[in-house]
Amino acid sequence: MESKPRLIEEHIQKNKRDTVVICMLMIILLFSVFFAIGLILGAPPILTMMIGLPVALFYIFITYSFSIQSVISAAGARPANPQNREEKLLIYKVEEMALAAGLPTPKVYVQESKDINAFATGHKPADAIVCATTGCLQQLNTEELEGVIGHEMSHIMNRDILVMTVTVGVVGAIALIAEIAIRMLFWSGGSSGNKKGGGNIIVVVIAIIFIILAPIFSRLTYLAISRKREYLADADGAYLTRNPLGLAKALEKIKADVPDDPKGSKTVAPLYISNPFKRALRDSIWSTHPPLDERIRRLRAM
């Protein structure tokens, strides 16, 4: 047990390094999409690079700056009301888990939904937000709610919130830009790339293939990160609460709770403790979360 804080600190440092790598990867992917569009339109490569790189960096900066507001808006969440008994208990549990993790107390939000769920977002612990659904407050007992909040606090402690919050915006942007590029190509009939002869056609074909594959690759990368960090947050959340069964029981209720009242956008689904639109019952590269049965098994084995 004494080695656990050192292990968590190692995870935090590793996550910080991973965050830099992932952000660089997303910048390269976003820039590459712009560069491919320039090739398709017949623009000089140097000009495309001079325009594409600053635009990609600027978009990453904008995504970073407004990511928290975007997530809260997409989720349709509101600040918790301390006058409401259930929401006051949520505030207390967040304060308790923040104290256990040695972190500043995050802001507490509530999402109006009958489904059991929760998520954390932010750039760093100082501006983090923890949000729980009304279904989570109404259907979980104190032990289970503590397990869920411990899980979300672990995402903050491990610095998962930065990479997940920023990446969700970049992945969406890559998909949107790629779709616009494909539509432009369709309506132009590929005429821009055909003016410079057969050699240029090969380059254009490669660019088109990249534009089609870039959104898929970026999303698969994002989902893989999400699944891996859920396991770590489960384990560290159990350490914070000193009670892995609390989260295990909460996940069992989430598994039995078929999502019939999902709110918000599917774009932010990977941020939740469980996909609010579809429960992960088996392992898949397209899943936003690891299988619930496996998560429960690991918690009960602690």
Catalytic residue among 87, 144, 152, 230: 152
- Positive or negative, the Cα torsion across 161, 296, 274, 147? negative
Distance CA(71)–CA(295), nearest Å, equals 25
**In angstroms, rounded to a whole number, what is the distance separating the alpha carbons of residues 91 and 97?**
10
Does the annotation count 144 as an active-site position?
A: no
Long-range contacts, 60-67 (Cβ 8 Å, 24+): 60/23, 60/26, 60/27, 60/30, 60/166, 60/170, 63/166, 63/169, 63/170, 63/173, 64/123, 64/166, 67/121, 67/123, 67/165, 67/166, 67/168, 67/169
* Distance, CA of 18 to CA of 167 (rounded, Å): 12
- Contact predicate 238/93, CB 8 Å: no
- The set of residues, in sequence order, having a beta carbon less than 8 Å from that of 166 and lying 6+ positions away, is 23, 26, 60, 63, 64, 67, 123
Sheet of 129-133, strand order: 77-79, 107-111, 129-133, 118-121
Cβ distance 43 to 184 under 8 Å?
Answer: no
Instruction: Point out the residues that are catalytic.
Output: 152
